[in-house]
């Protein structure tokens, strides 16, 4: 079974620029998550999708972050404009169901300079 | 306000011995707990989980213990192997399963020395 695919692996941008991350979950997984992991911290949920609907986006900074899940499969996370404190690893995960652990992708490491 | 705490940033253990990683939580509504393992430049990998209706779950060399009254769980690895060297994250959720918002601790870096 193919894992969760994310791209790009690394991205360096200047503050106030925009950036987008892409995620392709495991085939058939209805639930998709975006997590932000700042260095030295545990991952923190940004947004959860069930198929193409948003279940939880309470911790998404909506003034600068946006996310969509196209046709209930792939997803993109966008930051516009980026701030220095957005430097982190952005992890995408998908899940087969309630009692299955998430499968995470390898993440995108964003550096904002 | 950190709801899931891993108070030991690092742990060093000799190969073949037991590794014990600890995790404390503050929210009594948590009813499902998971451990993830993370190698550098990779995403976290699910290791083992436990529901709040149990106090122990075992999978090969890995055992998770849950003490609800103390709001404490621990992961035991016996015997420890050099390949176990990684960062281990404890996570918790509400709602009876792993779906939904997982709250992660900051992680404990385990080093297993040959």
Summarize pLDDT for B13-35 with one digit per residue, the tens.
999 999 999 999 999 999 999 99
Residue A44, H or E segment: strand A44-50
Which of A38, A78, A73 minimizes the C-alpha distance to A52? A73
Q: Give the residues across from A106 on adjacent strands.
A: none
End-to-end CA distance of chain A: 37
Indicate yes or no: CB of B100 within 8 angstroms of CB of A103. no
**Residue B98's pLDDT is what?**
58
Q: What is the pLDDT of residues A69-90, one digit of tens each?
A: 988 899 999 999 999 999 999 9
Partners of A99 on chain B (C-beta within 8 Å) are: 97-98
Span B61-98, pLDDT tens digits? 999 999 999 999 999 999 999 999 999 999 998 876 65
- Tally C-beta pairs within 8 A across A and B: 58
Dihedral sign for Cα B44, B50, B56, B57, please: negative
A2-32, pLDDT tens digit by residue? 799 999 999 999 999 999 999 999 998 989 9
Q: Which range has the worst mean pLDDT, A11-20, A99-108, B17-26, B49-58? A: A99-108
**Among chain A residues, CA nearest to B4:** A42
> CA B114 to CA B104: how far, in whole Å?
29
């Amino acid at each position: 079974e193919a894992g969760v695919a994310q791209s790009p692996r690394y991205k360096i941008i200047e503050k106030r620029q925009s950036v987008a991350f892409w995620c392709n979950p495991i085939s058939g997984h209805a639930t998709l998550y975006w997590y932000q992991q700042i260095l030295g911290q545990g991952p923190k949920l940004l947004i959860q999708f069930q198929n193409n609907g948003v279940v939880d986006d309470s911790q998404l900074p909506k003034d600068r972050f946006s996310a969509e899940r196209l046709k209930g499969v792939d997803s993109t996370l966008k930051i516009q404009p980026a701030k220095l404190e957005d430097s982190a690893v952005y992890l995408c995960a998908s899940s087969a169901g309630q009692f299955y652990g998430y499968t995470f992708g390898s993440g995108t490491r964003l550096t904002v300079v | 306000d950190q709801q899931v705490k891993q108070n030991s940033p690092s742990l060093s253990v000799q190969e073949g011995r037991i590794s014990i990683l600890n995790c404390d939580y503050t929210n009594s509504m948590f009813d499902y707990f998971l451990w993830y393992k993370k190698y550098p430049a990779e995403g976290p990998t699910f290791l083992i989980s436990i529901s709040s209706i149990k106090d122990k779950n075992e999978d090969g060399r890995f055992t998770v213990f849950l003490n609800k009254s103390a709001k404490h769980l621990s992961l035991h690895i016996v015997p420890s192997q050099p390949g176990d060297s990684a960062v281990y994250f404890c996570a918790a959720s509400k709602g009876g399963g792993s779906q939904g918002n997982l709250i992660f601790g900051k992680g404990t870096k385990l080093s297993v020395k040959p």
